[in-house]
Amino acid sequence: MLPEKPKRLGMTFESILIVGCGNMAGAMLEGWLAAGLPRDRITVVTPTREHVPGNVELLREVPTDRHFDAVLLGFKPHMLADIAHTLQGVAGKSAAVLSVLAGVQLDTLRERFPDAGAVVRVMPNLACALGKSPVALAEEGLDQAGREALVALIDDLGTPAWVGEDKFDLVTALAGSGPAFVYRFIDALGAAAVRLGLPEDQARELAIAMTEGAASLAANSDHPPGTLADMVASPGGVTRKGMDVLDDGEALTRLMTETLRAARDRSVEMAREARD
C-alpha cells in the first residue's frame, strides 16, 4: 500500500471531461445520465465516435481554454504515454485525474500528471450503465470533502468502495473482469443444455433467467452464496448430484482461483508496462 500522503484538494465535480469514450467510459456516461446528471456538466473528447449518449458535447480535441473539475481517462492503457502530454492544460491543481486504465498505478498517474490536484483510480464494470456496478476507488491528493464528493459522483454508478492499492489488481480481476467470467459461465450452462438436448434459444433464455433470479436472491438474502447453494441441494437429490461434480476436489474453486490469478497478474504486468 502507498504511504499516506497529505490530502489537499476539495472538489464538487461540477464539470467532467471524458477523454476517450470506449466501452467502460461510455457505460459510465450512460450511468451518470440515467441517474440524472445534467448533460451540460460533461464534455467528451474522442476522435473515433460520431455520437455519444445523451447528446453530450462531443469534441475532437482537448479544449485548452476551459476548466474541468475532473478529467476521466477512458482510452486504452497503452495510449497513456502518447496522450498525457495533451492533457496538461486541463489537468492542473484544481482538477482530479480519474483513471479507469487497468493496471496503471497512482504513482504512474502522478508521474504523468505532476500538476494535477489529485489522481484517482476508478474500476467499475459495464453494469455501471445500469447503476449496478461495484466501483473500486484509490486516490492520492483528495481531502475528506473531495473524497465525499467523489463517492457521491460514483454512487450513481453502483456501489463505491475505497480499496488499498496493494489489492487493486485483485479487485480489478474480481469486480472489473468478473462479469466476463459470469457471462462465460452462463454461456457454458446454455451450451451444456444444448449438448444434452435443449434448443439453443430456450437453453440461453433459461440460463439467463435462472442467473438473474439467483443473483437477485443472493444480493437480498441473509445467507452467503455457499449456504444458499446447500439449501437448494437436498442430500441425495438432483442438485446435489450436479454439485458433486463442481465440489469434487474443489474443482470450481480451483478453476476460479486460477482465473482470477491470471487476470490479476496481467494487471500487474500492465502496471510495469505503463511505467516503462
Q: Per residue in 45-91, pLDDT tens?
A: 998 888 888 889 999 999 988 889 999 999 999 899 999 999 999 99
Gyration radius of the chain's alpha carbons: 21
Tell me, yes or no, whether 118 and 209 share the same domain: no
Nearest-CA neighbor of 227 among 218, 238, 239, 240? Answer: 218
Distance CA 64, CA 41 (A): 17
Is 276 inside any structural domain?
no
The total of structural domains in the chain comes to: 2
Amino acid, single-letter form, for residue 91: A
Tell me, yes or no, whether 76 and 151 share the same domain: yes
Q: What is the pTM of this model?
A: 0.85
At residue 6 the predicted structure's pLDDT band, cuts being 50, 70 and 90, is very low
Tell me, yes or no, whether 119 and 233 share the same domain: no
Burial of 95 (0-12, 13-18, 19+ CB in 10 A): buried
pLDDT > 70 fraction of the chain, expressed in percent and rounded: 96
Confirm if 9 and 142 have CB atoms less than 8 A apart: yes
Is 47 inside any structural domain?
yes
Final residue of a domain: which of 126, 143, 168? 168
For the chain, the straight-line distance linking the first and the last C-alpha, in angstroms and rounded, comes to 21
**116 vs 1, which has greater pLDDT?**
116
- pLDDT of 223 over the 90 cut: yes
Q: Give the per-residue pLDDT at 2.
A: 40
Q: Give the per-residue pLDDT at 7.
A: 46
**How many CB atoms lie under 10 A from the CB of residue 167?**
14
Tell me, yes or no, whether 123 and 61 share the same domain: yes
Mean pLDDT of 130-137: 95
Q: Give the per-residue pLDDT at 136.
A: 96
Q: Which residues, in sequence order, are CB contacts of 270 under 8 Å at separation 6+?
A: 77, 102, 103, 104
Nearest-CA neighbor of 19 among 138, 49, 132, 120? Answer: 49
Q: Strand runs (DSSP E) across 74-130, as ranges?
A: 96-99, 118-123
Residue 163 sits in which domain range? 16-168
> Which residue shows C-alpha cell 480451483?
254
Q: Give the per-residue pLDDT at 265.
A: 95
Cell triple for residue 82? 502518447
Mean pLDDT of 102-107: 92
Helix (H) or strand (E) holding 270: helix 251-275
Is 103 inside any structural domain?
yes
- Backbone phi and psi for residue 70, each to the nearest 5 degrees, phi listed first: -140, 140
